[in-house]
Amino acid sequence: MKNGGYLNWLAGETPTMWWHDSGDPDELTAGLSRGATGVTTNPVLTHRALCSRPDAWAGVLEDASHSDSPPEHAEHLLRAVVRNAAKMFEHEYERSEGDNGYVCAQVDPSKAGDREAMARMAERFHAWAPNIAVKLPATAAGLDVLEDCCAQGITVTATVSFSLPQVIAVAERYTRACERAGHTGNKPGRCFAVIMIGRLDDYVRDVVKDAGMDKDISESDIIQAGLAVTKRAYSVFKERGYRARLIIAALRGTYHMEELAGAELIMSIHPKYQAMLLKPDIPRDPERIHDPVAQDVIGRLKDVPEFVRAFEPDGMGPEEFIGFGPVQRTLSQFYEKGWSQLETM
């Protein structure tokens, strides 16, 4: 079994890795025992980790209370949770010689269009630990910062990403970053391109209902929207030889994992889905990644313009990313239910 991939439930070798989707120390310990090779955090998960064990974080909360401003207060709390996770995964980072063991640290979601603010945060976050992956939004501004960061040796995870155009843009900008690093003699940072698979399904479902199309497009079709985008992205990345690594996040059940079985990518898995995937009756077909989503399903989904924007390589340009429905929805959630809550803890 390769590095405990698939929570040790897939017999034989598999190229799939998985990251633990939480910042809570107890949950991280369980994740490590199940073979996690990295950690996804965001402002919501950070706030949840602090609230779940306030006694354990009392000193951190007290120190943060002396911050000069709410954003500094939030960053202080974020740093504590992220650095704790980074320390817990330090051995994996060292064992793999820097290939695994990364912990995500997300910049302020309200700055998704502010290049200078995100660049400054990225530099600070990068200094927290050697195994930090600075989490930047896959917006036009975020892509500019991503390229500069990776060229300077800062590892980046591109988040609030739901579409093929977004992950292609991330991969292309990372290619440019690696070229720039080569010209200057720098070692480029690593780059992880996220597809928030279940959140795309959620958005398509709302669009279908709002348009009155739910009589023609079934729930069975809708829950394959994210899979269709992901499988197409996986194929494109393989064909073009992109160096950025795909991360599939925001699962909505075990079926996302089952349908991507055998893929050479990273799955970001919340503890509740980890428990589900450990059950013995979960299908274990390592060739499932090669089974395409049925063409009749894709045909029906293509009647939804917002799905087309996510599914086609040229469905959107970078200047449109920040206005894409699930991007706005997720940025708002990360700020309102995460970052702003950290500012006032």
Residues 42-69 have pLDDT tens digits of 999 999 999 998 999 999 989 988 888 9
320 is a domain residue: yes
Tell me what pLDDT residue 161 has: 98
First to last CA, the chain: 42
Beta strands in 59-113 (DSSP E): 102-106
Percent of the chain with pLDDT over 90: 85
Provide the 3-class DSSP secondary structure of residue 157. strand
In contact, 335 and 256? CB cutoff 8 Å: no
Model confidence at 312, in pLDDT bands (50, 70, 90)? very high
Q: Give me the amino acid identity at 143.
A: L
Return d(Cα 181, Cα 176) in angstroms, integer: 9
pLDDT for res 167: 98
Q: In which element (H, E) is residue 67 found?
A: none
Q: Is the residue at 1 inside a domain?
A: no
CB atoms within 10 A of CB 283: 11
How many structural domains is the chain composed of? 1
Across the chain, what does the average pLDDT equal?
Answer: 94
What is the pLDDT at residue 304?
Answer: 98
| Coil, helix or strand at residue 1 | coil
Quote the pLDDT of residue 282: 78
The residue written with tokens 């991503």 in the block is: 146
Q: Residue 7 falls within a domain, yes or no?
A: no
Average pLDDT on 75-89 reads 97
Rg (CA), the chain: 19
Cβ(250)–Cβ(197) below 8 Å: yes
Domain with 135, as residue range(s), is 12-338
Residue 6: inside a domain: no
pLDDT of residue 287: 85
Joined together, the tokens standing for residue 47 give 């706030």
CA distance 125 to 123: 6
Do the domain assignments include residue 220?
yes
Is 81 among the domain residues? yes
What residues contact 119, with CB distance under 8 A and at least 6 apart? 145, 148, 149
Q: What is the pLDDT of residues 262-297, one digit of tens each?
A: 899 999 999 988 888 877 777 778 888 999 999 999
Residue 106 pLDDT > 50: yes
* Portion of the chain with pLDDT greater than 70, in percent: 96
Q: Who wins on pLDDT, 287 or 8?
A: 287
Helices (H), 251-321: 254-259, 271-277, 295-301, 305-311, 318-321
* pLDDT score of 9 more than 70: no
**pLDDT tens digit sequence for 155-189:** 999 999 999 999 999 999 999 999 999 999 999 99
pLDDT attached to residue 14: 62
Predicted model pTM: 0.95
Asked whether residue 38 carries a pLDDT value surpassing 80, the answer given is yes
Residues 243/175, Cβ–Cβ less than 8 Å: yes
Q: Is the pLDDT of residue 93 over 70?
A: yes
Q: Is residue 2 in some structural domain?
A: no
Q: What is the domain-level CATH number for residue 329?
A: 3.20.20.70
pLDDT, tens only, 225-267: 999 999 999 999 999 999 999 999 999 989 998 899 889 999 9
Q: Is 270 exposed, middle or buried (0-12, 13-18, 19+ CB in 10 A)?
A: middle
Both tokens assigned to 90 = 């330090």
Answer for the pair 48, 30: CB distance below 8 angstroms, yes or no: no
**Which residue, chain included where needed, has tokens 């709410």?**
70
Average pLDDT over residues 3-8: 47
- CA 226 – CA 201 distance, rounded (Å): 6
Residues 294-308 have pLDDT tens digits of: 999 999 999 999 999
Whether 15 contacts 267, CB under 8 Å: no
Q: What does the pLDDT average to over 16-45? A: 94
The reply to whether 107 falls in a domain is yes
Res. 5: pLDDT tops 70: no
